[in-house]
Amino acid sequence: MDKRNEIISGQHMLNKNKSKLQSSLEQISTRVAFFIAGFGISAWAPLVPYAKERLSIDEGVLGLLLLCLGTGSIITMPLAGALAARFGCRLVIWAASLLICVSLPLLATSTSVPALIFALLIFGAAIGTVDVVVNIQAVIVEKASGRTMMSGFHGLWSVGGFVGAGVVSGFLEAGVSPLVAVLNVIIVIVGLLLAFGKHLLPYGSEEKSATLFVLPKGVVLFIGFLCFIVFLAEGSMLDWSAVFLTSQRGVDFSHAGLGYSLFSVAMTVGRLSGDRVVQAFGGKNILIFGGICAASGVIVAIFIPNWIASLVGFGLVGLGASNIVPVLYSVLGRQKVMPANLAVSAVTTLGYSGILAGPALIGLVAHTTSLSFAFLGVAAMLLIVAASSRVAIE
């Protein structure tokens, strides 16, 4: 009997260790998937001037073409949750990542406007799908672990963005053609998929649901609204921080990108350390502090007439905003209003629309009033996020 108990105990311990190993591999694969998402989309940024020159188009036409990327993403994001539920996160992430690999050479070589439109739509659709499904996997993995992990996952997206843009820029500066540069990006993506892709989740929902898309409601709709605000703030930093520095603070054009660089660095550092911070202070306090910190950063940039203060302000925006969205995505894994996969699809779509529509709204307000007043509106909305912590996180 003692020998039998020892065998049973040993088998139980073996199964427990296997379960821990599988959980660890799933967490690593989730981080790699976030890295791929950031790495893939950032590879396009250094290629934009080359596409403009190759097609001999002006800024106005280029701006319209770039909307195709967002259009492709918005089309697929609402459907990505249902695809993950039906086919599993693993298969959908593989397929969408390979679609990124197919579209990158088209982006690097398209010689006509219709060809570039097609490539951008495909690229945007793939990026949008990956962004949704990696967050679905992250919600499931974090919930299963019982630990706060979402900020770290999103931090790997930011790291991927830095690395992707840096790798492609480095190749281009070395005189390599855009096609050869993106082929190296493809090698990295495929290599990571082959090494870690088998550990992605073979399922994409903890619930059975045949619904393709459900309109967000209740707390999910409210979280989507808050994500819209935070993504709008991110979009304002991307598209308007350089304009603010040159037009309002007299910064030379060659240094205008410093504002967004500081914002990005602060956001990455905040996310990579965010899991420990969230565990220490709780999600509610992160929303309160994050919203106030980000709003304060905008106010500092506006009201202290010094370019260094503006840079510090943009850094505060990145630090404050860094962990708000990860905390809100963690809430999606705990809410019972909607299946998590559909909730993530809906909220990601709403949030991404903030990046697309936000800069245009800021431009409209700035045209009728001033850019400083438009930024002040962003600060006011960030304070709404801080004030909403009790409603968003029960």
User: What's the pLDDT tens digit per position in 38-75?
Assistant: 999 888 888 888 888 899 988 778 878 878 888 899 99
**pLDDT level of residue 247 (50, 70, 90 thresholds):** confident
| Whole-prediction pTM | 0.86
Same domain, 371 and 262: yes
pLDDT above 90 covers what percent of the chain?
A: 59
8 A C-beta contact, residue 360 and residue 312:
no
Same domain, 128 and 233: no
Per-residue confidence (pLDDT) for residue 274, from 0 to 100: 95
Domain edge (last residue) among 199, 227, 262: 199
Q: What totals of helices (H) and strands (E) does the chain contain, helices first? A: 16, 0
Phi, psi for 219 (deg, rounded to 5): -65, -30
Is residue 132, in this structure, part of any structural domain at all? yes
Other Cβ atoms within 10 Å of 354 Cβ, number: 24
Do 152 and 254 lie in one domain? The reply is: no
C-alpha to C-alpha distances, 5 to 1, 9, 235, 255, 360, nearest whole angstrom: 6, 6, 61, 70, 69
Domain residue limits at 226: 218-392
Tokens of 235: 């979009």
Q: Report the CATH number that the domain containing residue 352 is assigned in CATH.
A: 1.20.1250.20
Does 386 lie in the same domain as 247?
yes
Q: In this structure, are 47 and 173 located in the same domain?
A: yes
Do 230 and 308 lie in one domain? The reply is: yes
Question: Is pLDDT at 371 greater than 70 in this prediction?
Answer: yes
Position 355 pLDDT exceeds 90: no
CB 161 within 8 A of CB 42: yes
Task: Decide: 33 and 81 in contact? Cβ < 8 Å.
Answer: no
State whether 303 and 363 are in the same domain: yes
Under the banding of pLDDT at 50, 70 and 90, the label for residue 6 is low
Residues 63, 115, single domain; the answer is yes
Per the domain annotation, does 210 fall within a domain? Answer: no
Contacts of residue 261, defined as CB under 8 A and 6 or more positions apart, other chains included, come to none
Residue 40 is predicted with a pLDDT of 92
Is there a contact between 366 and 373 (Cβ–Cβ < 8 Å)? yes
Q: Answer whether 339's CB lies under 8 Å from 209's CB.
A: yes
* Residue 212 φ/ψ, nearest 5 degrees: -75, -40
Lowest mean pLDDT among 2-11, 61-70, 319-328: 2-11
Q: Say whether both 65 and 150 belong to one domain.
A: yes
Q: Are 37 and 189 in contact (CB under 8 A)?
A: no
Separation of CA 207 from chain center: 25
Residue 1 pLDDT exceeds 80:
no
Section 269-295 average pLDDT:
95
List, for residues 182-214, the tens digit of each pLDDT value.
999 999 999 999 999 999 999 998 665 556 667
What per-residue confidence (pLDDT) applies to 258? 84
pLDDT (tens digit, 9 = 90+) per residue, 121-134? 999 999 999 999 99
Among the listed residues 70, 49, 201, the one whose alpha carbon sits nearest the alpha carbon of residue 133: 201
Residue at token pair 């850019």: 371
- Check whether residue 227 and residue 359 sit in a common domain: yes
Higher-confidence residue: 375 or 235?
375
